[in-house]
């Protein structure tokens, strides 16, 4: 049960605070967040897949 709740909470918080995360990263590194977000989403989906496998 926990392996379903934790990724859901993490994804919800990322969606909820997306604008603040985007602004902070742009100020700090001067890069657009779209590529980083794409890689992050793929990693999160990979983690969920691994959790579902085990």
Write the pLDDT tens digit of every residue in 35-51.
Answer: 777 788 889 999 998 88
Q: What is the largest CA-CA distance in the chain?
A: 39
Q: What's the predicted TM-score (pTM) here?
A: 0.51
User: What pLDDT was estimated at residue 31?
Assistant: 76
Residues 24, 45: Cα–Cα separation, whole Å: 24
User: What pLDDT was estimated at residue 43?
Assistant: 92
Residue 44 vs residues 5, 28, 39, 48: alpha-carbon distances, Å: 13, 23, 9, 6
**Does position 54 have pLDDT exceeding 80, yes or no?**
no
Indicate the DSSP class of residue 27.
H
Half-sphere exposure of 54 (CA within 13 A, CB side): 7
User: What pLDDT was estimated at residue 28?
Assistant: 87
Domain locations along the chain: 2-53
pLDDT digits (tens, 9 = 90+) for 13-37: 888 888 888 888 888 888 777 777 7
């Amino acid at each position: 049960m926990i392996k379903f709740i934790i990724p859901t909470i993490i994804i919800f918080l990322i969606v909820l605070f997306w604008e603040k995360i985007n602004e902070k990263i742009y100020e700090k590194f001067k890069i657009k967040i779209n590529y980083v977000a794409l890689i992050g989403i793929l990693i999160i989906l990979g983690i969920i897949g691994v959790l579902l496998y085990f």
